[in-house]
Amino acid sequence: MNSSTSTPGNEALAPVAEHQRVFLWRDHASLWFSLGVGLLVMQMGAYLLPALSPAQALGAIVLGSCIGAGLLGWVGKLGCDSGLASAGLMHSVYGRRFAQLPIVLNIVQLLGWGTFELVVMRDATLALGRQSGGMAASYWPWVVTLLWGSVILLLMSGSMVQLVRRIVSRVALPLVILSLLWLSWQFVGMAQAQGFAQLWNRSGDGSMGVLSAMDLVIAMPISWLPLVADYARHGKSGKSALTGTWTGFALANIWCYSLGVLVALTLPSQDLVTALLLAQGGLIALSLVLIDEVDNAYGDAYSASMSAHSLLPRWSIRHWGLLIATVCTLLALVLPMHSLEPFLLILSSCFVPLFGVVLGRLSFGANAQELMHKAPPVRWDAVTLWLLGIACYHLIPYLSQAMGSALPTLIITFVLAALTRQRQTAQVQAARA
């Protein structure tokens, strides 16, 4: 679907037509590899040390990435099979009235993360400029923020499908892979010079358990759960959406988290960008990674516009996107986003149980389109499970610091939602009658 197309209907709650389903396996894989790469992901990897040993960190990264990306691909398959965006899936499960609450929460978190991405891009650009001997004046943060905001506005004025197929797959992806290869080569060389065996055998201080580390790794793919269906619905087959999304994001997540661990081992620093710049050729490699951050900010803005359009369809997705990109840019100019990051993480915790219930209710052959069309104002059983899941997410750390919150909450909500699907089926049958 072209994001610039304006129709009188609600594009976010209508399935994508067959002739508009053009994404193949490589499109899904390219998009989600590109979205999985980011400076924030590398920084999260660096947080695993010195709590864990390198071997423990790598194990948590691989296992957590495979599980998290698998969940992401699963929701993508639901979106592709039904042709529905995330807003449509929420309507199917929670009811047409109540679904507006998680949709609004999703818009708020996407505004926050879109703003945060612009701040990350601004700070990295300023670090690059100052490394080159420029951008010392006080007005440069404003200029750089407006510059990156203008780039997002320009992208929002075009077609999402064409952006993925022509720019991400053909241009951005090869460049970011080259930059990751270069940075990996440089930091592996540094590790070898410092004694790779000695670094690898370094023990952790035990301040974080492996399961808690997995929770930190899973956090990244799970943060994309409210967005994945907005793109996967354009796929030709659910199988390719599942495997392409899973493969692309898992590889990116493993690579970036592992690179963060490697940087923390060889050049311990509070500032990951500064550490990357110290690598030979780091200026060029970091510039390419920074350019790839653009699609993360675009992804937040596009999905926020899709969600907003589902609530007020009189504005097209394109017009909502332009407004949201503008708001993110203005917020990046005035808000201390780094201090607001904990709030965004708390808000994101609402979407772990939300999609645990979605997976439990819409998997195993459920017809999401029919459920949406026959949905009552509120499906109270699904709402109760979601609220129970939110409570579990925040109570589990008090019971055990070692097990993490995300995975147990997902399992609990998924199992309960799957076991109570009969009520959802009965509601649909009653609506038919």
Query: Which tens digits make up the pLDDT trace of 262-285?
Result: 999 998 776 777 778 777 777 777
**How do the domains of the chain map onto residue ranges?**
23-338
Which own/partner pairs from 179-182 qualify as long-range (CB within 8 Å, at least 24 positions apart)? 179/284, 179/285, 179/286, 179/287, 179/288, 179/289, 179/292, 180/37, 180/255, 180/256, 180/259, 180/285, 180/289, 182/281, 182/284, 182/285
Is residue 336's pLDDT more than 80? Answer: no
Give residue for tokens 């996967």. Answer: 232
Q: Is 209 helix (H, G, I), strand (E, B) or coil?
A: coil
Which of 231, 253, 230 lies closest to 40, judged by CA?
253
**Residue 30 pLDDT level (bands cut at 50, 70, 90):** very high
Asked if residue 103 lies in contact with residue 310, where contact means CB atoms within 8 angstroms, the answer is yes
Is residue 431's pLDDT more than 70? Answer: no
Q: Is the dihedral of CA 175, 177, 179, 185 positive or negative?
A: negative
257's tokens? 């988290």
Report the pLDDT value the prediction gives residue 38, as an integer from 0 to 100: 86
Report the pLDDT value the prediction gives residue 4, as an integer from 0 to 100: 37
Is residue 6's pLDDT more than 70? Answer: no
Q: What is the CA radius of gyration of the chain?
A: 21
Length of the chain: 433
Helices 421-432/351-362 angle, 10° precision: 60
* Cα dihedral 390, 394, 396, 402 in deg (nearest 10): 130
Report the pLDDT value the prediction gives residue 154, as an integer from 0 to 100: 94
Report the pLDDT value the prediction gives residue 216, as an integer from 0 to 100: 86
Which of 318, 298, 297, 300 lies closest to 309, judged by CA?
318
Instruction: Report the top-level CATH class of 23-338.
Output: mainly alpha
**Percent above pLDDT 70 for the chain:** 93
Report the pLDDT value the prediction gives residue 144, as an integer from 0 to 100: 94
**Residue 7 pLDDT level (bands cut at 50, 70, 90):** very low
Please tell me the distance from the alpha carbon of residue 71 to that of residue 223, in angstroms, as a whole number: 11
Per residue in 127-136, pLDDT (tens digit) is 888 877 778 7
**Residue 212 pLDDT level (bands cut at 50, 70, 90):** confident
Is residue 380's pLDDT more than 90? Answer: yes
Is residue 8's pLDDT more than 70? Answer: no
Mean pLDDT of all residues in 232-250: 97
Averaging pLDDT over each range in 119-123, 124-128, 144-148, 405-409, which range is the top one? 144-148
Please tell me the distance from the alpha carbon of residue 169 to that of residue 155, in angstroms, as a whole number: 15
Please tell me the distance from the alpha carbon of residue 126 to that of residue 121, in angstroms, as a whole number: 9
How would you class 88 by CB atoms within 10 Å of its CB: exposed for 0-12, middle for 13-18, buried for 19 or more? buried
Report the pLDDT value the prediction gives residue 65, as an integer from 0 to 100: 96
Would you give the DSSP letter of residue 170?
Answer: I
More confident residue, 406 or 80: 80
Peptide bond into 377 cis (omega under 30): no
Residue ranges of alpha helices (H) inside 39-166 are 39-46, 54-82, 86-94, 100-131, 140-156, 160-162
**Residue 382 pLDDT level (bands cut at 50, 70, 90):** very high
Please tell me the distance from the alpha carbon of residue 241 to that of residue 84, in angstroms, as a whole number: 13
Asked if residue 407 lies in contact with residue 67, where contact means CB atoms within 8 angstroms, the answer is yes
DSSP bridge partners of 23: 235
Please tell me the distance from the alpha carbon of residue 251 to that of residue 259, in angstroms, as a whole number: 12
230's tokens? 């907005």
Please tell me the distance from the alpha carbon of residue 386 to that of residue 368, in angstroms, as a whole number: 18
More confident residue, 38 or 79: 79
Per residue in 174-202, pLDDT (tens digit) is 888 988 998 899 899 989 999 989 999 98
Averaging pLDDT over each range in 145-149, 201-205, 339-343, which range is the top one? 145-149
Q: How far apart are the first and last CA of the chain?
A: 34
Mean pLDDT of all residues in 281-304: 86
211's tokens? 């399961």
Asked if residue 72 lies in contact with residue 32, where contact means CB atoms within 8 angstroms, the answer is yes
Please tell me the distance from the alpha carbon of residue 104 to that of residue 304, in angstroms, as a whole number: 9
Report the pLDDT value the prediction gives residue 5, as an integer from 0 to 100: 37
**Residue 2 pLDDT level (bands cut at 50, 70, 90):** very low
**Residue 337 pLDDT level (bands cut at 50, 70, 90):** low
Please tell me the distance from the alpha carbon of residue 417 to that of residue 424, in angstroms, as a whole number: 10
Is residue 104's pLDDT more than 90? Answer: yes
DSSP bridge partners of 235: 23
Helices 380-399/351-362 angle, 10° precision: 130
Give residue for tokens 């509601």. Answer: 427
Report the pLDDT value the prediction gives residue 3, as an integer from 0 to 100: 41
